[in-house]
Amino acid sequence: MFLSRTPVLPTPEQALKGRPTPEFAVPERHTVLGNPLLGPYPEGFEVADFGLGCFWGAERKFWQTDGVWTTLVGYQGGLTPNPVYEEVCSGLTGHTEAVRVVFDPAKVSYERLLKLFWESHDPTQGFRQGNDVGTQYRSAVYTHSPAQAEAAETSRATYQKVLTGSGHGTITTEILPVEGRTFYPAEGYHQQYLDRNPAGYCGIGGTGVSCPIGVAEAPGVG
Q: In 184-194, which positions are buried (b, 16+ CB within 10 angstroms) versus exposed (e)?
A: bbbbeebbbbb
Distance of CA 160 to the CA centre of its chain: 19
Q: What are phi and psi of 51, to 5 degrees?
A: -120, 120
Question: What stretches of the chain show up as alpha helix (H) in DSSP?
Answer: 55-63, 85-89, 110-119, 146-165, 193-196
Is residue 54 part of the annotated active site? The answer reads: yes
Q: Determine the Cα–Cα distance for residues 65 and 58; give it in Å rounded to an integer.
A: 12
User: Sign of the CA dihedral 151, 112, 45, 21?
Assistant: positive
- Beta strands 139-143 and 174-177, pairing class: parallel
Catalytic pick among 54, 89, 202, 211:
54
Instruction: Give yes or no for a contact between 122 and 205, defined as CB atoms under 8 angstroms apart.
Output: yes
Active-site residue list: 54
